[in-house]
Chain A
């Protein structure tokens, strides 16, 4: 460790005391977030496994439930989230190149796209109350909705909607947490905390944001596009 002093940004304000240098800190941060994403995969994985089993058991009911959803809104939201992944990637790039202004702009753009996604999601949730297909709270499908659900069994369709709300709800909670982190990054970025030597927090949050997007990439076809409809 005698040559540690030779490293240039030795006493950078972003360097925590337990690390020898910024490189070690950055490698630890990246390994940490990847491990965290592994835990997230296992977390959602349990949910996806349960979904897969019930979809296999009650395919017709899941198909009927899926047809209640508006796939156009789902597709639009998919586009919004993919766009937010692009702006997030550009934020990371801006942090790496030390472009403070671009960093803040792209973070805010990501934030706006995330907000748009949640807005659409809120509208969709509201529709479910209008159609009385909220398990536990408001489950009384009637008319056309009932006719669509009936072939697969209305009870089994309730199971589908439990998974719809559990999966999209957990995803939305992750979005909200991600947006909180984006605000935190934007404030720090504006103060000039991030430099080409020290940008790990931006990249760490970026990886998290991409992960949440990828979860949606799987949720969209699994929930919205069951069976032949188009």
Chain B
């Protein structure tokens, strides 16, 4: 890769970006790479929407009395923040953007198995998003993102139906994406690309897709029943008719706990790619890392009851769920140890993607370990419903999933856009995000431990210092997120032209031009070695 000649190009070669122009060529495209970009733009929009709700919340909590809004409005802010960030940003983030772009390239295929379904999934996502935006404008929702009954049924006077329909619809985009990935990975791998030669990102996508396909339909039927209850005023989950509110929680968490792994598994896949590339080493214990993704997907379906330790769930069910929740820590820890072992004696370079990956490992470990406090029956009684929970899942979802997503975007940006971004700015942004994140959420662990409950618009004055720290951190974090938005946008026009393989990475996606042509490969590649053959690559260069 060091020998690549950089002649000034007069005519850019045909690629997926310049193959066709005009809005029709984008809105009716069947090219997985263009659909990935459609998703990239849409989820960025929803990230900004969800982020602005968070900004308002952090401003509110600067003052113990509540700085700007009434409690009713605050309830809507945290609900919409959760709904938008989870269903419209985190769940589609890596699968729908990086997965859509990379899965066909990594398996050495010309497209996903079902390109029309792929485009349909984006339209479904947009329609679901419009319902959610409508509900926001039409008065908001105040149930919390979990839509617990009876907040969402008997006692709700907000736009529950509109947002429920939005989430219901968006679920199908997730199902279609998962289905497409599973079929593509099974049936469209290039000659020689055996299961154990696949990059770990594909294993992660495969495990994620299994959760999407098995879990999302259950959320759909749950929301369907909720909407029936809401529309016809019949109490499926209402005790008035003998319905059971706990049943809603069981059905809801049967999807929504595995959904956490929809968010984190893809980020783990991204981190595996980055760690291998920037340590110039094969991933330590490849098969174990691959199987740990599948193990997380499977075990993830058996732990939902740990969200309900303090509800009316039986103690014995609680004990089993607690035990199973501890088991999920094993494959997660395996990954962390194996990444660390990969770094050992590697030739490490700290380019921007690697900074995000390192940040991911640290923050994910924090989030994972604090999860064990919540999986323990006794400590959960104290910590449940406090800011400790908020801090814990933000370490997983923001510290983990968003760091992984940004790391992936930085890693594959030269491939996606055909341009390079300024590495200094990228490194600076990664550092600011890491600092801002910890300043925002670490105080929340302390607040939760001290007993501050989540979801309140005001709090006792003794908690103010920690809350102000958290709000200050959120400001830093916001700046950190803004910087990549600016330089990535800038790089699309002014960035230096990227060569096909700027990082010297292994993997089929780096063997096509940057950006790739519409058909991905002029000739379907043949794979002759395992993934992460960095040692062989180095030997070949000497």
A122 contacts B by Cβ under 8 Å:
no
Q: Complex Cα distance A49/B224, Å?
A: 14
**Contacting pair B233 A136 (CB below 8 A):** yes
Q: Mark A43-84, 1 if CB is under 8 A from B, else 0.
A: 111110110011001100100000000000000000000000
Inter-chain CA distance A17–B225, complex, in Å, is 41
- A39→B179 contact, CB < 8 A: yes
Once the chains are docked, how many angstroms separate the CA of A158 from the CA of B235?
9
Per-residue interface assignment for chain B, residues 210 to 247, with 1 indicating a CB less than 8 Å from any chain A CB and 0 otherwise: 00011111101110110010011111100011111001
Surface stretch bound by A, among B110-118, B430-438, B439-447: B110-118
Contact A35 B228 (CB under 8 A): no
Residues of B within 8 A of A39 (CB): 175, 179, 213-214, 216-217
Query: Is the beta-carbon distance between B241 and A18 smaller than 8 angstroms?
Result: no
- Contact: B225 with A155, CB < 8 Å? no
Q: Which of A39, A44, A45, A135 has the most CB of B within 10 A?
A: A39
Contact, CB under 8 Å: A46 / B221: yes
Q: Indicate whether A136 sits within 8 Å of B213 (C-beta atoms), given known contacts A46-B218, A155-B241.
A: no
CB-CB < 8 A to B110: which residues of A? Answer: 17-18
A24 interface residue (CB < 8 Å to B): yes
* Chain A facing B: main interface SS: helix
Closest-CB distance, B214 to chain A (whole angstroms): 6
Question: Quick one: closest A residue to B520, CB to CB?
Answer: A18
Which one of B179, B231, B251, B254 contacts A32 once the chains associate, using CB atoms below 8 Å? B179
**Residues 103-135 of B contacting A (Cβ, < 8 Å):** 104, 109-115
Cβ–Cβ contact B232 & A137, under 8 A: yes
Q: Are B228 and A162 neighbours in the complex by a CB distance under 8 Å?
A: yes
Instruction: Give the Cβ gap from A166 to chain B, nearest Cβ, in Å.
Output: 6
Given A18-B110, A28-B183, A46 and B191 contact (CB-CB distance below 8 Å) = no
Residues of A within 8 A of B231 (CB): 136
A-B contact count (CB 8 A): 113
Query: Which one of B109, B215, B242, B524 contacts A54 once the chains associate, using CB atoms below 8 Å?
Result: B242
A155 and B216 alpha carbons, distance in the complex (Å): 31
Q: Is the CB of B187 within 8 A of A24?
A: yes
In the complex, the answer to whether B242 meets A156 with C-beta atoms within 8 Å is yes
Is there an interface contact between B115 and A18, defined as CB atoms closer than 8 Å? yes
- The answer to whether the Cβ of A140 comes within 8 Å of any Cβ in the partner chain is no
Give the chain B neighbours of A8 by CB distance below 8 A. Answer: none
User: In whole angstroms, what is the CA distance A155 to B114 when docked?
Assistant: 47
Identity of the chain A residue whose Cβ is nearest the Cβ of B235 in the assembled complex: A159
Inter-chain CA distance A208–B112, complex, in Å, is 22
- Is A40 at the interface (CB under 8 A from chain B)? yes
| Bound-state Cα–Cα, A158 to B232, Å | 12
- B234, A135: Cβ atoms under 8 Å? yes
The answer, yes or no, to whether B186 is at the interface (CB within 8 Å) is: yes
Question: B323 within 8 Å of A by Cβ?
Answer: no
**Once the chains bind, are B251 and A28 in contact (CB under 8 Å)?**
no
Give B213's nearest chain A residue, CB to CB: A39
Map CB proximity to B onto A133-170 as digits: 1 under 8 Å, 0 otherwise. 00111000000000000000101101100100010001
The secondary structure that dominates the B interface is helix
> Chain A's nearest CB lies how many Å from the CB of B124?
14
**B17 interfacial by beta-carbon distance below 8 Å:** no
Cα A49 to Cα B111 in complex, Å, equals: 38
Q: Is the CB of B115 within 8 A of A40?
A: no
A162 to chain B: which residues have CB within 8 Å?
Answer: 228, 234, 236
Contacts of A53 in B (CB 8 A): 244, 247
Cβ–Cβ contact B217 & A153, under 8 A: no
Contact check, A42 vs B215: say whether CB atoms are below 8 A apart: yes
Q: Is A184 on the interface with B (CB-CB < 8 A)?
A: no
Residues of A within 8 A of B222 (CB): 46
CA distance A70 to B114 in the complex (A): 43
Complex CA gap A103/B396 in Å reads 54
Assess whether A159 is in contact with B217, with CB atoms less than 8 Å apart.
Answer: no
Q: Given contacts A18-B188, A28-B183, A166-B228, are A43 and B218 in contact (CB under 8 A)?
A: yes
Say if the beta carbon of B182 comes within 8 Å of chain A: yes
From 158 to 203 in chain B, residues with beta carbon under 8 angstroms from any chain A beta carbon are 175, 179, 182-184, 186-188, 191
Q: Is A38 an interface residue (CB 8 A)?
A: yes
The reply on A10 being an interface residue by CB < 8 A is no
Tell me whether A44 and B221 are in contact in the complex, defined as CB-CB below 8 angstroms, given that A27-B187, A39-B213, A162-B228 are known contacts: yes
* Least Cβ–Cβ distance between A153 and chain B, in angstroms: 7
Per-residue CB contact flags for chain B residues 314-354 toward chain A (1 = under 8 Å, else 0) read 00000000000000000000000000000000000000000
Assess the A158–B175 pair: CB atoms within 8 A: no
Residues of A within 8 A of B220 (CB): 43
Of the residues B115, B187, B217, B232, contact of A42 by C-beta under 8 Å:
B217
Q: Which residue of B lies closest to A161 (CB)?
A: B234
Minimum C-beta distance from A83 to chain B (A)? 29
Inter-chain CA distance A16–B183, complex, in Å, is 15
Contact B251 A1 (CB under 8 A): no
Q: When the two chains form their complex, are residues A35 and B188 in contact, meaning their CB atoms are under 8 A apart?
A: no
Contact partner of A50 among B191, B225, B241, CB < 8 A? B225
B208 shortest CB reach to chain A, Å: 14
A28 near B188 with CB under 8 A, answer yes
8 of the cross-chain contacts (CB-CB < 8 Å) are: A1-B526, A38-B213, A39-B217, A43-B220, A47-B221, A156-B241, A156-B242, A170-B224
Given A36-B179, A46-B222, A159-B242, 19 more pairs with CB closer than 8 A: A1-B523, A1-B526, A18-B111, A18-B115, A28-B113, A31-B183, A32-B113, A39-B213, A39-B214, A44-B221, A46-B254, A54-B242, A136-B231, A155-B241, A156-B242, A162-B234, A162-B236, A166-B224, A166-B225
Report which B residues bind A (CB closer than 8 A).
Answer: 104, 109-115, 175, 179, 182-184, 186-188, 191, 213-218, 220-222, 224-225, 228, 231-236, 240-244, 247, 251, 254, 519, 523-524, 526
**What are the 5 A-B residue pairs with the smallest beta carbon separation, nearest first?**
A136-B232, A43-B217, A46-B221, A18-B111, A42-B217
